[in-house]
Amino acid sequence: MAAKDDQSLVRSSLNGDTEAFGQLVRRYQDRLYPTLLRLTGSPDDALDLLQEAFLRAFQNLGRYRGQSSFFTWVYRIAVNLAISERRHRKTSPSHAAKQGLDQLENLPASTQEDPSLRLERAEEEQRIQNALMRLPDEGRVIVVLRDLDGLSYEEIAEALQIPIGTVRSRLHRARTELKQILERAELLPPKPSWQAKASNSLAD
């Protein structure tokens, strides 16, 4: 049987089909988790926010009008939750309740790869993550959305509800500061996977 498109799954969910919404969760949870991890710096916080984002999407599904893709819509919810959460707590908490949707499972999905390669990649990503977490919140968000997730200026402006000119100025400032942090710490790593994109953007 062919997989249903997002709009069909949304309609089924609104009609009371919880499994249809579970399909949407499974379809997009692995794409959202890395973004939340980069924004929070904490696997536990990222999972908590991932659960909360899908829960809020489910609760507000009647407000989804289909003007953007379902992923874009839930992506905005997740990013704004991460921004709000960072404003209220600056350290990783241990109190978050594990009451998310039952459909969230098996994150991250890349546990099958070679352990040595996974360790090497994890170390490289941690270097970048450490530098990202030293940026102000507004700068880190812009860098993650643009340089790591590849959103357009227009998409970032829409997601954050700020003018495109503000997106550009914040991005320039954040890239400069991130490059200085990495250089001062002598943490400029080799550039495989998504780090290459970020580092190349810093050099623009």
Is 109 a member of any domain? Answer: no
- For residues 20 and 132, what is the distance between their CA atoms, to the nearest angstrom? 36
CATH number at residue 71: 1.10.1740.10
- For residues 67 and 47, what is the distance between their CA atoms, to the nearest angstrom? 27
> Do 67 and 35 fall within a single domain?
yes
> Do 135 and 85 fall within a single domain?
no
Q: Report pLDDT digits (tens) over 18-43.
A: 999 999 999 999 999 999 999 998 89
Q: Which of 55, 90, 125 is the last residue of a domain?
A: 90
Read off the pLDDT of each residue in 93-101 and give the average, rounded to a whole number. 35
**pLDDT for 128:** 82
Domain that holds residue 193: 114-204
| 5 alpha carbon, distance to own chain's centre | 22
> Do 127 and 182 fall within a single domain?
yes
> Do 149 and 85 fall within a single domain?
no
Q: Which of 90, 125, 157 is the last residue of a domain?
A: 90
> Do 20 and 68 fall within a single domain?
yes
pLDDT for residue 97 is more than 60: no
Is 95 a member of any domain? Answer: no
**pLDDT for 4:** 80
Q: Report pLDDT digits (tens) over 129-167.
A: 888 999 998 999 999 999 999 999 998 998 888 999 999
Is 171 a member of any domain? Answer: yes
**pLDDT for 56:** 96
Whole-model pTM above 0.85? no
The CA-atom distances, in angstroms, between 14 and each of 11, 27, 102, 131 are 5, 18, 18, 42
Is 62 a member of any domain? Answer: yes
Is 176 a member of any domain? Answer: yes
Is 167 a member of any domain? Answer: yes
Q: Which of 56, 90, 124 is the last residue of a domain?
A: 90
| 66 alpha carbon, distance to own chain's centre | 21
> Do 202 and 118 fall within a single domain?
yes
> Do 126 and 197 fall within a single domain?
yes
- For residues 36 and 189, what is the distance between their CA atoms, to the nearest angstrom? 22
pLDDT over 70 percentage in the chain: 73
Domains of the chain: total:
2
Contact 78, 179 (CB under 8 A): no
- For residues 156 and 197, what is the distance between their CA atoms, to the nearest angstrom? 17
pLDDT for residue 82 is more than 70: yes
Q: Which amino acid is at 199?
A: S
Q: What is the 3-state secondary structure (H, E, C) of the chain?
A: CCCCCHHHHHHHHHCCCHHHHHHHHHHHHHHHHHHHHHHHCCHHHHHHHHHHHHHHHHHCHHHCCCCCCHHHHHHHHHHHHHHHHHHHCCCCCCCCCCCCCCCCCCCCCCCCCCHHHHHHHHHHHHHHHHHHCCCCHHHHHHHHHHHHCCCCHHHHHHHHCCCHHHHHHHHHHHHHHHHHHHHHCCCCCCCCHHHHHHHHHHCC
Contact 87, 12 (CB under 8 A): no
> Do 86 and 137 fall within a single domain?
no
CATH number at residue 154: 1.10.10.10
